[in-house]
Structure 1
């Protein structure tokens, strides 16, 4: 082989090596890109799977307390039980139920005719199936209307349970009892309820609803626990909005209570909410009469000018911003209004004798409407 041929051969080898290196770079780049795509896809699937599982483990409808009878035959496997519960609308996904039971190593399910509700959580359902808590008749119900205050709630509970209203109210304000509840509901009952200006720590935290009880004489602890469970369940749906708006539970329930106490059957609560927020933006006191009555501990139809002088941190005529805490319990509509106020320029509103609420953008307009509609009131 001549020197020239050797040079040509070396050059060919060199070119081949360069080509292979170039190809290797391309292949590595392709592999890298594919790997990134696979990681992203896997993440998306995992993320989607996580949210699906999270949703499937939640109650079908936390607001639906309609009782449904469900028959679990003898010898039913977790798979069959899951299918029965899904067909009855008690759980969202039978497969998720089956895997949850396996993961938690839950056994000992008992056959029988049960009463379940779409508002129940999977752990509650499993507990009933394990303890054999079958169909029970409701012994009595306690209905807590919207806009009720803690002392009124104590009276309602006393009337339904033959307990002493004063003793119940005393229990609801007992520091040891409050501490035990704070330990049990740390995300609901925070240190904000212990503010030195708070009149009653649990004010506004006992959600308005109808509560069924299945035994003759439940303790005050049991009754209040059921009500707080309901509050937790309701607020869970609002958590994303609360976080987005940097709202604590205490602040939300406080604003919602003011809206609740000012609202009538005929008014859009979001409009009232807009007035409160518009005032707060410009540093104007909320000047809402129910806060004055709450400060006085009275229930009356009309607030007089002398009442506005009451010395209390709850008096929104003297102190700008929110009250130290809720002044009553609030329903879902008022909570929604607190998170989603109307977009308005209103700074004033007044209720007429017919229950209609009139809104105004300035004081002159407000006074004209006041003179027209309630001057002789």
Structure 2
């Protein structure tokens, strides 16, 4: 092997080592939410080790040495911290540095997948976090939406056709809020988490950034149409096929959203209600999401099953599953057998 060849091999090895070390130092995002305890007097190495155990940093010791050189003035405060799913290492370290610890009287609130803004406003108010009416006003306020959109660029441009511009972007999760949080602060905190989830999804699915409004709108429909996790991508595939062929989506979930309440059975007269959200009357996606979808529904839309199904109908056997069909005739037979409507 010549001298020049050896030099190239050594250079390649050095580059590979550098990339490996930097990946270990830079860290990852939190795969799940967790509470982090930083004890008084605890060393930075100990704190970083805890984050390593949670998968946020590859090598605590290397990160420590890196910070001593690059961030010599970094300080942190003891306390109980809540790390949300999707937060990256830098966000967590910033939280520790700013002392954004949980207060002893922190309020825990869970927003379930598939809830709409009205349900969320009610849940937040029930837990003593502000006024339900104030939340609904803010959810429908174009000026406040504009303020939030300057901070959170994933929010689509304001559209006066949407019933609530924030609908769909209040990510379902268990949150911890200070008991004295304002309604504005609560909403901003939720949007911060939504942003972290989008950034994490974007590493595998760039379309979540390029087509945020479309992805979240369709994901909200998938969320409301399905109960079984294993059916989400299949249902998403049905809607993808319909959009591809420029068919109407004909989703009962959009009609339920118009009616403002959940019904066990949709009537034929309900399908004729004139509303821009009625996908039985209007082709394409509705003006905006109809609920706040969870990560699984977002991933289903970003990676739908590929098949030839264009219809599905509830089995009506208590399984919460669906019959899927390729043709309208097959769908009518499934519908008759299920004694329900899609």
Tell whether the structures are fold-level matches, with TM greater than 0.5.
yes
Query: Is the aligned partner of 1:198 residue 2:188?
Result: no
User: Structure 1 346/136 Cα, relative in aligned 2: closer, same or farther at 3 Å?
Assistant: same
Unaligned 5+ runs, structure 2: none
SS of residue in 2 equivalent to 1:238: helix
Q: Which has the larger radius of gyration?
A: 1
Q: Secondary structure at the match of 1:290?
A: helix
Matched, 1:182 2:149: yes
Distance 1:47 1:190, change over 3 A: farther
Of residues 63, 69, 85, the one that matches 2:37 is: 69
Calculate the TM-score normalised by the size of structure 1: 0.77
The answer as to whether partners of 1:266 and 1:357 remain within 8 angstroms in 2 is no
Q: Output aligned runs, 1:1-377, within 5 Å.
A: 52=23, 56-59=26-29, 61=30, 63-73=31-41, 76=43, 78-79=44-45, 81-83=47-49, 85-86=51-52, 91-94=57-60, 95-100=62-67, 102-110=69-77, 112=78, 114-115=80-81, 117=83, 119=85, 120-131=87-98, 136-137=103-104, 139-161=106-128, 163-186=130-153, 188-191=154-157, 194-213=158-177, 215-243=178-206, 247-265=210-228, 268-353=231-316, 354=318, 355-374=320-339
In structure 2, how many angstroms separate the alpha carbons of the residues matched to 1:70 and 1:108? 12
1:292–1:314 CA contact under 8 A, matched in 2: yes
8 Å contact from structure 1 (residues 144, 208) kept in 2: yes
Alpha-carbon distance change, 37 to 88 in structure 1, aligned in 2, over 3 angstroms: closer
Q: State the alpha-carbon separation in 1 of the partners of residues 310 and 56 from structure 2.
A: 46
| Change over 3 Å in CA distance of 1:361–1:93 after alignment to 2 | same
CA distance in 1, matches of 2:180, 2:163: 29
Contact 2:140 2:163 in 1 (8 A): no
- Of residues 294-303 and 174-183 in structure 1, the stretch that sits farther from structure 2 once superposed is 294-303
Give the 3-state SS of the residue equivalent to 2:39 in structure 1: strand
1:248 positional shift: 1.2
When normalised by structure 2's length, the TM-score is 0.84
Q: CA deviation at 1:58?
A: 3.4
**Which 5+ residue runs of structure 1 have no aligned equivalent?**
1-26
- Is the alpha carbon distance of 1:184 and 1:375 closer, same or farther for their aligned partners in structure 2, counting shifts above 3 Å? closer
Change (3 A) 1:83 1:257: closer
RMSD of Structure 2 on Structure 1 (CA): 3.2
Is the Cα–Cα contact under 8 Å of residues 267 and 357 in structure 1 kept in the other structure? no
For 1:376 and 1:279, the matched residues in 2 are separated by 18
Structure 2 equivalent of residue 13 of structure 1: none
Aligned to 1:92, the other structure's residue is in SS state coil
Check 1:285–1:39 CA distance in 2 against 1; reply closer, same or farther (3 A cut): farther
Contact persistence 1:56–1:93 (CA under 8 A): no
1:83, CA displacement in angstroms?
4.2
Change (3 A) 1:275 1:257: same
Is the Cα contact below 8 Å between 2:258 and 2:277 reproduced in 1? yes
User: How far is the alpha carbon of 1:365 from its aligned partner?
Assistant: 0.9
Can you list the C-alpha shifts for 1:203-255, whole angstroms capped at 9, x where unaligned? Answer: 10001111122x32211122112211221222223214432688511111111
Superposed displacement of residue 160, structure 1: 1.1
Count of aligned residue pairs for this structure pair: 337
